[in-house]
Structures are given as structure tokens and as C-alpha cells.
Structure 1
């Protein structure tokens, strides 16, 4: 019974060593300790150990050294994993920051494009088409008002000239009438004076 328990322990120990060796060999590019030396130690421990039937008898010192090297390798791997996790977290933060900046830039670009496509009139945002329509409508209205003003001015000017001409004609006629009346009055006074002189 005791023999079978020792066999089982030995088998579990060998399986554990092989498993640790597999982990150690898979991470050989990222370890500070030379993994080939660990591999060599496995070879040395297994090949140079004593044989007992179909089992290998390994010295405790060799097993302790191998165990220490494996644990050191695992520790280095854990440190590297932590460092990589920190790097990933830092890069994730940078990516998040860049995504926020990108979103802000896209928002600014959208606002800029909106401003480019639109015009603010008295603080009211308008599309360029609506602004152009309103602008040309105002210009058309002002031109129409100007043409109407010119027409009214010319019409009023013509009426004013005609009225001035009639006024001048009337004034000339009145002056002629006044002169005639003065002459008639002078004639009547002479006649009256002549009659008064005769009666004396």
C-alpha cells in the first residue's frame, strides 16, 4: 500500500514538473532568466537521476533548485503580466482620451460645416439658400422702390415744371392786366382832370 502511494506521489511530482516546464518553455522569450538553462536542468534532473524500476529518483537539492528557478520564472512572468496590464491600462486611457478628442473634433467640424453652410442674420442662423433668397428679395424690393421713386420724382418734377410754367404765364398775364388797368386809370384821371379844368 505504501509502495503504491509513493508511486502516485512520484507520478504527480513528475506531472507537475513537466507542466511547470511547459509553462516555462512557452514564456521563454519574455523571461529574465535563461529558459534554456531551465530546460537543461530538466534534462539533467531527469536524465542524470537514478532509475528505480520505471521511475526516476530525483535528488532533493536538484528538485529544490529547479523549483526555485521555475518559481522565479513564474514570478518574472507575473511581473511582466502586471507591467503589460499597466501598459494596456495606460494605452486604454490614451485611446479613450484620443476617442474623446476625436469626438470633440468631429463635433467642431460639424459645427464649422454648419456655419459654412449657413449664415447668421441678426443672430438668427439661416441656410445659405434662404439667406440668398431673402437678400435678393430685399435687393429686388429696393430696386423696385427706387424705380418707383424715380418715376414719382420725374412725374412730380414734370408737374412742378408745368405748374411753374402756368404760374409764370398767369403772372405775366396778371402783370399785363395790371399794366392795362394802370393805363386805363391814368387815362380816366386825365379825362377827369380835363373835365374839371373845363368846368372851371
Structure 2
């Protein structure tokens, strides 16, 4: 009878422990889903037990926080790569726009030099008609130049904003990496100290 009772107590204890561990893991997952990395660190700290001047943290909570931190760092890296690709595309577009502007400027110069000539495509025309045709070409080229220059300015502004965003992302990524490393090292030291203290107390 005592053996049966003892087995029942052991099984009940294991069931309660397993249920408690599952509930704690589920609690961490539910809380971490709505928190930032800093918030997750703070939540894990608050939920950890205190032993003298040390904090005893949950291994499952630590592993979940580590995974979330690595996922965030990976996301920042992917965003940075995406911004770099955008910058490369904008640089290519700017180069193409500059080439087109230089070409139009050369055509405009050639048109202005031809104004003094009264021959148009090998045909003699009146000065009024000649001037009207030339001015029409010049106005069209000037309009295209203004449009391309506007596109160039907009592209330059986009490149500048993208560089600023990339610098902010890189700065945030570096800060997050440093903070995560420091906290991970601190937690590892605290865990090691706790284990050593338990060994020495035995």
C-alpha cells in the first residue's frame, strides 16, 4: 500500500512539474509575441527567481529570448542588404540619367550652333520658318532636360534618405548586437556562479 501511495505521489509530482513547465513555456511564448527585445529581457528578468544577489532564470525562457534576438538580428541584416540593393539600383538610374542629360546638352549646343545657318535638312527655308523650327526643338529639349533634371534630383534625394535609413539600421543593429552580447554574457556568468555556488554548498 505504501509503495502504491509512493508511486502515486511521484507520478503526481512529475505531472504537476511537467504541467507547470509547459505553462511557463507557454507563458513566455505568449508574452514574447507582443514585446520588443528589450521588453523580452525585462519580462524574463521579472519572471526569474531571486537567490541572494543572483537571478535564476528559466532555461526555456533564455533559449526563447536567444532565438528571438538572433531572428531580430537576421531581420536587420536582411533589411540592410535590401537597402544596399536599392542604393545600387538608384546609382545605376542616376548614371543613366546623367548620360541622357549630357546627350541632350550636346544636342542643344548643336542646335544653337545651327541657328545661324539658313539650310535645314538640305532645304532652303525662310528665316522665320527656320527660327520657328529651331526654337521648337530647343523648347522640347529644354523641357526634357527639366524633366530629367527633376528625376535626377529626386533620385539623389532618395539615395540620401536611403543612406540615412541604412546608417540608422546599422546603428540599431550594432547596438542590439552589443546589448544582446553583454546580457548573454552576464546571464552566462550568473548561471555559472549559481552552479559553482551550489556545488560548493554541497
Settle same-fold status: TM greater than 0.5. Answer: no
User: TM-score, normalized by length of structure 1?
Assistant: 0.39
User: TM-score, normalized by length of structure 2?
Assistant: 0.39
Q: Which has the higher contact order (CA 8 A, sep 6+)?
A: 2
